[in-house]
Homo-oligomer: A and B are copies of this chain.
């Protein structure tokens, strides 16, 4: 399931009924949240812009890819957009499976590929001014692992 929201969200509420199936033995989750060092230690806020429509489409494709590669009972991706402050959750990825390696690998796959495939852009607000975050080569490397 994919959810894109402009409102703050609480991962534990999103996960309240996640993984409740007697066939599920393993749940892996990843949470990304705004940290103060984004802006060199003086980040005041982060604004995420996205491409409505394409975002949902790309994330749904990633969910399909993950389900094709691993035996997953449930998948949840929640991604925030808009302006958020330090400590707020940007993204939640959760996977549930009968087996631990499927859940763990699929969770890692989804966040790695989300970073390079989902059309989001981060604008950092710092005391020194606002600037757009540059893409990281390490994110391309992480995502490329899954293309082999």
Q: Which residues of A contact B (CB under 8 A)?
A: 12, 15-16, 19-20, 22-38, 86-87, 98, 100-101, 103-104, 107-108, 111, 138, 142
Contact = CB atoms under 8 A, between A and B. Distances in A.
A19 to B, nearest CB: 7
Contacts of A86: 22
Interface majority SS on A: helix, strand, loop or mixed? Answer: mixed
B12 A37 contact: no
A16 B28 CA distance: 17
5 tightest A-B contacts by CB? Answer: A25-B35, A12-B12, A22-B36, A27-B31, A29-B29
A87 B19 CA distance: 9
Given A12-B12, A101-B142, A33 B25 contact: yes
A35 B27 CA distance: 12
